[in-house]
A and B are shown apart, each in its own frame.
Chain A
Amino acid sequence: MAFREKIDWLSFAVILLGFSAYFWIFPYGVGDREGLAAQAGLLIALAIIFTIVMTIAATLLALMRPRDANAPADERDRNITRRASGIAYYVLIVGLAGCFALAHITRDLVLVLNAVLAAAVVAELVRLGLQIRFYRTGA
């Protein structure tokens, strides 16, 4: 398995687990002030956890196969990234359109911001998932 594919699997798993936990433990319905504080706190905690986990895991993977890790992206890697990003972009646009619609039917600012976050997370998971699929199928 290519180094970039391993990183995609790792990122997919970390984002899926991290944001599943975020949306599971988020204190919904506590009001804008407390909600924004909880959002900021959880996102900062997630960013720190992501950084630590990804740095350690990527370093270990790179130490196991340093040649693969140092290889620049070739045309197939770039093609896979471009195709996956193009499709994920449409997912993000649809998700954001849903958020705009949500903003018109609710005054819950934190809920709308979480919806925007969810749209971005889903789009990123789609991008990573497609990259993994394209690597598996040859692209």
Chain B
Amino acid sequence: MARPPFTNDIRTLRFLAGEMTQGELGDRVGVTRQTIAAIEQGKYSPSLEVAFRIAHAFGKPLETVFQWGDASD
């Protein structure tokens, strides 16, 4: 499975949000803990809706949570 061409700062944002657990973030977003773990590790590309929900959970804009990894694409 190819890694998505973007990175994310979910782990850092969870830490900054009072060490929020993957399970707690999953509950807020409406996905399982395993899905948050897969997104965080760059193994799964979330839908636009879930990406926005994650950003919303942290109160941050989408581009603060997800960053496009390769400027040439």
Contact = CB atoms under 8 A, between A and B. Distances in A.
Interface of A: 2, 5, 68, 71, 74-77, 134-135, 137-139
Interface of B: 1, 30-32, 34-35, 38, 41, 43-44, 46-47, 49-50
Contact of B43 (A2, A75, A137): A137
A36 B16 CA distance: 66
Nearest to B38: A138
Nearest to B30: A74
B50 A75 contact: yes
Nearest to B34: A2
Is the contact region of chain B dominated by helix, strand, or loop, or is it mixed? loop
B44 A139 contact: yes
B1 A74 contact: no
Is the contact region of chain A dominated by helix, strand, or loop, or is it mixed? helix
Nearest to A74: B31
A5 B38 CA distance: 14
A110 B73 CA distance: 57
22 contacts: A2-B32, A2-B34, A68-B32, A71-B32, A74-B30, A74-B35, A75-B35, A75-B46, A75-B47, A75-B50, A76-B32, A76-B34, A76-B35, A76-B38, A76-B44, A76-B46, A77-B32, A137-B43, A138-B38, A138-B41, A138-B43, A139-B38
